Amino acid sequence: MSFNSLGVEITDEHSDIHTKVSANIQRSQESTKIQFDLFEIDSSSDVVNKQLDNGKNVARYKSLKKLVRVNGVRRKISDFVGEVNAVLFTVQDLELIYGAPKIRRRYLDMLISQHDREYLRALQRYQKTIVQRNHLLRYIKSGMSKLSELAPWDQNIMTDGGYIIHTRSKIIKNLSELCISQHHLLSPLKEQLNLIYLTDTEETTFQRGQADISGALKDKLSASLNSDVNRGFTSVGPHRDDFKVTINGLDSGRFASRGQARIATLSLKLAEAQYLSNVRGENPLILLDDVFSELDPVRRELVWSLISDYEQSLITTSDMDNIPKDCTANIKIFKIVEGRIDPVD
């Protein structure tokens, strides 16, 4: 957990889940507390007094404890994932098209973990398994361990990895179907958008059962054993998977223009909002961070009409001209100047 003048960031290293909550923070010497209507984050430090040669005492922090409370009840960091049902749109969403595979894996993992606790637990177990197996591979290469010791870790990869791949591929199919209608509305050329899950376990798709995927993982682990030992890391499994966004059958990461990529990511995020509405039974909070500045007037109108179906949206902009003219009647406007938030009449 890290603190600064703008907010608190919480990272669960095992689940690769990163949560940021914006807030103004006042820090005393002994503790930091942020309180909201729904949840509370409390960071308490043990203070050790160290006496210097000049006789003065200096307070130093010995340890930092991360605590999250929801409605006054203490919760684990991992339990906090998905507590706030929200979809964030930012200009950085283009990284879902042009960025590294780990960005897309993280996006998918965070989306699924918001509503599927079993997936989150499987993901946490799997990541611990990969760390332990990689350590063991290096011990085997140095002659300090035997190949037979890999068996329990391989079984964990087959079980949890099979579940992760099976779940991801189903979600990708669902998102792909939801993206089609959104993209047809936003794309000026009515191009065909599609999401495809990429995995080492051959042509693994949502139609294949988890047992089949686990069996494919077993075969791949056996085939890659020698190279894994030589390199000291596990080269097979969902931690190596990816998904790609295609436009008219072409990989958008390689061939899409910036304009095409922007429409594709907007379609994906709108599909994400619709997906969360379907699986959670309630509409998410829509957060748009200066997204309209990147769109032409026609696309602004279309996006506005789509987000208007949701009960609550928070939109930031540095230029009110970017907001569609006929859409400001039923919204509340606030101006932020030098850290102060004031309503605009």
Residue spans of the domains in the chain: they are 2-80, 86-337
Q: What is the pLDDT of residue 188?
A: 82
Q: What is the pLDDT of residue 308?
A: 86
CA distances from 70 to 122, 187, 294 (A): 24, 41, 36
- The residues, ordered by sequence, that sit 6+ positions from 206 with a Cβ below 8 Å of its Cβ are 166, 169, 170, 172, 173
What's the pTM? 0.78
Mean pLDDT of 219-242: 96
Q: What is the pLDDT of residue 65?
A: 66
> Distance between CA atoms of 253 and 256, rounded to whole angstroms?
6
> Distance between CA atoms of 8 and 19, rounded to whole angstroms?
9
Residue 83 predicted with pLDDT over 80: no
- Can you read off the two tokens belonging to residue 94? 């283009």
CA distances from 268 to 87, 263, 277, 302 (A): 11, 9, 14, 15
Residue 198 predicted with pLDDT over 90: yes
pLDDT tens by residue, 207-216: 678 899 999 9
pLDDT tens by residue, 235-282: 999 999 999 999 999 999 999 999 899 999 999 999 999 999 999 999
> Distance between CA atoms of 32 and 3, rounded to whole angstroms?
9
Residue 330 predicted with pLDDT over 90: no
What's the pLDDT band for 43 if we cut at 50, 70, 90? very low
Output the CATH code of domain 86-337: 1.20.1050.90
Q: Which residue has the higher pLDDT, 82 or 184?
A: 184
Lowest-pLDDT range of 79-93, 196-210, 296-310: 196-210
- The residues, ordered by sequence, that sit 6+ positions from 56 with a Cβ below 8 Å of its Cβ are none
3-class SS of residue 80 = helix
pLDDT tens by residue, 86-120: 999 998 999 999 999 999 999 999 999 999 999 99
Q: Give yes or no for a contact between 99 and 268, defined as CB atoms under 8 angstroms apart.
A: no
Q: Which residue has the higher pLDDT, 27 or 115?
A: 115
